[in-house]
């Protein structure tokens, strides 16, 4: 069975508050490590409804310095201190947010029990900005009114599965198993070479999630995010507001779908909805005309990759 | 009928978020002018449920620079800008919050369409810090871990009501009415002097609301808030946590009630509940043993003075 790779939508509204949506925030659960993507106001309050454990948050990735993406951050960081967090927390985002975090810490929660490390992301480059045993995170340069970048979270391939019946048949000792998983063939006592591919079945293909908000359509996304399992792309406006989308450096739902189509992603979830829509049916319809496997984000939605 | 004087509780929790409470924020509606008291995270989101009009907010009074009282402020100020507010907004609070507001504005909403004026409050003095035709606002020095002050909002007395039947009887012309309301007697054409008290009935007594959070018990409150119609006093802890109350410069519910009793207030509402209580029955019980007319705050509560 594939290991955990879930996306939890905490907020998918835009700048103006509504009764229906919170500002931007998501949690990505990769094999029980939690990554926060953006941290709009109210994130720490809504967090409680996810049932996830604060202690498992290892990284926060921030797209840009607009309030609806970061005004929940001081409260979130402060509360983790009150709850006794000890392990260091790694923040990644555009340069101006480093100052914001430092200012907030110095004025409001300088006594917290854990370290905060802020790593500045170059929002103009598509590159790997974080890597560990189980994943890589790549920056995705976005086109917004201020420096802004999305994030591509790529699972690392798992090792192939051992075929137990073959191991038993050839009486292969346990010490050899990891080598075989890593690609070594097996030589029997009689000198017969058994290719490792006969002793294993392939692992599930590595999965990937792309988070693209806020942005105008960026054509390079088709290459950077080719074939990802899930793409979240902002679709702030309907076709009828396409001039607003252009003016404010946002995308229409239809444009989001075109990017998803060009990138041949498996599924698209749109969000960052303008407050003008009482419901997002029009956005859903216009996106789905271009890319069928589209869904609408909503608070509390959990998508398993 | 008395004019409007309502208190709306937007949040009455303390520092740690719970599923039941938002951090501190209240709205006081004095004759259709809205004053915001503190602005914890989520205030702009919960505001929507009050049905009140953003445009009528004239002043924001802040008690102290702890996150659970101010982390909603940047979002609130920013959103009023997005909604096209034009009239200036007056903020009052301890000195360190002036810098916080200026920093937030410079980094996140420097382009807003209205002016923000921040008036520093001397948290060590009990004095009138704001006055207009309908009210006075006085600072209430509190004892907390950092500079902190509460606020006393006092309605100005209304003019007495004219007794229409007496006006008709003496055939008093309309031009004289305002003078009579203001205290002038009436001289009839025959020279008879009719005392203004016979021509009017007294106005309703002026009302007052005291907001005291966060603080240890302050004995002077008995004098400063004597006889107010309503006092909100923090009652963070139960008796069993009185050592924590002392350590963190908070009050128990019982202490809040003792202050209310000493001040002979008409009604007490307690709030700023510690997250440790699944419900606040114990706080209610302990407060009511000392001061009977106590109620518990809750989100959405509206109290008419």
Q: What is the mean pLDDT of residues A243-253?
A: 97
| Contacts with A42 from chain B: Cβ below 8 Å | 41-42, 45
Q: Above pLDDT 70, what percent of chain A?
A: 100
A204: pLDDT strictly greater than 90: no
B262-300 core/surface letters (b: 16 or more CB in 10 A; e: else): bbebebbbbbbbbbebeebeebbebbbebbeebbbbebe
Reported as a pLDDT band with limits 50, 70 and 90, residue A1 is low
Q: Are B215 and B148 in contact (CB under 8 A)?
A: yes
B8: pLDDT strictly greater than 70: yes
B15 touches A: beta carbon within 8 Å: yes
Q: What was the pLDDT predicted at B159?
A: 87
- What is the count of residue pairs from A and B with beta carbons less than 8 Å apart? 82
Closest CA relative to residue A280, chosen from A4, A20, A5, A15: A20
Planar angle of CA A134, A137, A139, nearest 5 degrees: 170
Q: What was the pLDDT predicted at B69?
A: 98
Planar angle of CA A20, A22, A27, nearest 5 degrees: 125
Closest CA relative to residue B130, chosen from B37, B2, B192: B37
| Contacts with A82 from chain B: Cβ below 8 Å | 15-16
- Report the DSSP pairing between strands A200-201 and A161-162: antiparallel
Q: Greatest CA separation found in chain A?
A: 75
For A48-66, how does the pLDDT look when each residue is reduced to its tens digit (9 = 90+)? Answer: 888 999 999 999 999 999 9
Nearest residue of B to residue A16 by CA position? Answer: B79
In this structure, of A14-18, A286-290, B113-117, the range with the lowest mean pLDDT score is: A14-18
Q: Given 3-state DSSP classes, what are the helix, strand and coil percentages for chain A, each rounded to the nearest 5?
A: 30, 30, 45
Closest CA of chain A from B256, distance in Å? 25
Catalytic residue among A68, A185, A214, A239: A68
| Contacts with B81 from chain A: Cβ below 8 Å | none
d(C-alpha A110, C-alpha A81), whole Å: 10
Closest CA of chain A from B16, distance in Å? 6
B147 touches A: beta carbon within 8 Å: no
| Contacts with A44 from chain B: Cβ below 8 Å | 17, 41
Q: What is the mean pLDDT of residues A224-242?
A: 97
Catalytic residue among B32, B68, B110, B239: B68
A48 touches B: beta carbon within 8 Å: yes
How many C-beta neighbours within 10 Å does residue B28 have? 25
Provide the mean pLDDT of chain B.
Answer: 95
d(C-alpha B301, C-alpha B305), whole Å: 13
For B10, B64, B150, the CA distances from B298, given in Å and listed in that order, are 8, 21, 19
Q: What was the pLDDT predicted at B70?
A: 98
d(C-alpha A102, C-alpha A276), whole Å: 35
B79/A15 touch (CB, cutoff 8 Å), yes or no: yes
Q: What was the pLDDT predicted at B93?
A: 98
Closest CA of chain B from A266, distance in Å? 34
A109/B67 touch (CB, cutoff 8 Å), yes or no: yes
- Residues 107..126 of A with a Cβ closer than 8 Å to B: which? 107-109
B54 touches A: beta carbon within 8 Å: no
ipTM field: 0.91
B103 touches A: beta carbon within 8 Å: yes
Is A185 assigned a catalytic role?
no
B1: pLDDT strictly greater than 80: no
A15/B82 touch (CB, cutoff 8 Å), yes or no: yes
Q: What was the pLDDT predicted at B180?
A: 92
In chain B, count of helices (H) and strands (E)? 11, 18
Q: Which fold has domain B5-158+204-304?
A: Metallo-beta-lactamase; Chain A (3.60.15)
B278 touches A: beta carbon within 8 Å: no
Closest CA of chain A from B257, distance in Å? 28
Q: What is the mean pLDDT of residues A79-96?
A: 96
Provide the mean pLDDT of chain A.
Answer: 95
| Contacts with A99 from chain B: Cβ below 8 Å | 107
B192-210 core/surface letters (b: 16 or more CB in 10 A; e: else): eebebeebbeeeeebbbbb
Q: What is the mean pLDDT of residues B8-28?
A: 94
Q: What is the pTM of this model?
A: 0.92
B19: pLDDT strictly greater than 90: no
* Domains of chain B, residue spans: 5-158+204-304, 161-201
| Contacts with A16 from chain B: Cβ below 8 Å | 79, 82-83
B216 touches A: beta carbon within 8 Å: no
How many C-beta neighbours within 10 Å does residue B12 have? 27
Q: What was the pLDDT predicted at A75?
A: 97
Q: What was the pLDDT predicted at A300?
A: 95
| Contacts with B100 from chain A: Cβ below 8 Å | 107
Own/partner contacts of B286-289, CB < 8 Å, gap of 24 or more, are B286/B238, B286/B239, B286/B252, B286/B253, B286/B254, B286/B257, B287/B235, B287/B253, B287/B254, B287/B256, B287/B257, B288/B257, B289/B254, B289/B257
Closest CA relative to residue A138, chosen from A128, A147, A125: A128
A248 touches B: beta carbon within 8 Å: no
Q: Out of B45, B49, B99, name the one closest to residue A41 (CB).
A: B45
Closest CA of chain B from A50, distance in Å? 11
- Residues 154..193 of B with a Cβ closer than 8 Å to A: which? none
Best B80, B107, B145, B274 residue to mutate vs chain A (most A CBs within 10 Å): B107
A244 touches B: beta carbon within 8 Å: no
């Amino acid at each position: 069975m594939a290991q955990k790779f879930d996306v939890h939508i905490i907020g998918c509204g835009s700048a103006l508050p509504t009764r229906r949506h919170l500002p931007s925030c998501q949690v990505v659960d990769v094999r029980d490590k939690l990554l926060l993507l953006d941290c709009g106001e109210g994130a720490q309050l809504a967090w409680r409804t996810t049932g996830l454990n604060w202690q498992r948050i290892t990284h926060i990735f921030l797209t840009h310095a607009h309030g609806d993406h970061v005004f929940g951050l001081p409260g979130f960081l402060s509360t983790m201190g009150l709850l006794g967090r000890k392990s260091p927390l790694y923040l990644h985002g555009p340069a101006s947010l480093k100052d914001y975090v430092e200012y907030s810490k110095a004025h409001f929660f300088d006594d917290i029990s854990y370290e905060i490390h802020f790593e500045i992301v170059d929002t103009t480059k598509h590159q790997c900005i974080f890597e560990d045993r189980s994943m890589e995170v790549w920056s995705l340069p976005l086109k917004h009114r201020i420096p802004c970048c999305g994030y591509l979270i790529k699972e690392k391939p798992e090792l192939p599965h051992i075929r137990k019946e073959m191991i038993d048949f050839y009486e292969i000792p346990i010490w050899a198993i990891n080598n075989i998983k890593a690609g070594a063939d097996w030589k029997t006592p009689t000198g017969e070479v058994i290719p490792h591919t006969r002793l294993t079945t392939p692992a599930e293909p590595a999965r990937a999630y792309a988070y693209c908000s806020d942005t105008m359509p960026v054509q390079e996304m088709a290459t950077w995010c080719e074939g990802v399992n899930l793409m979240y792309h902002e679709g702030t406006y309907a076709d009828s507001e396409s001039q607003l989308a252009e003016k404010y450096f946002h995308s229409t739902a239809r444009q989001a779908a075109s990017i998803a189509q060009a990138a041949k992603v498996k599924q698209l979830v749109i969000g960052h909805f303008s407050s003008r829509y009482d419901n997002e049916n029009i956005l859903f319809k216009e996106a789905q005309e271009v890319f069928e496997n589209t869904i609408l984000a909503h608070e509390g939605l959990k998508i398993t990759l």
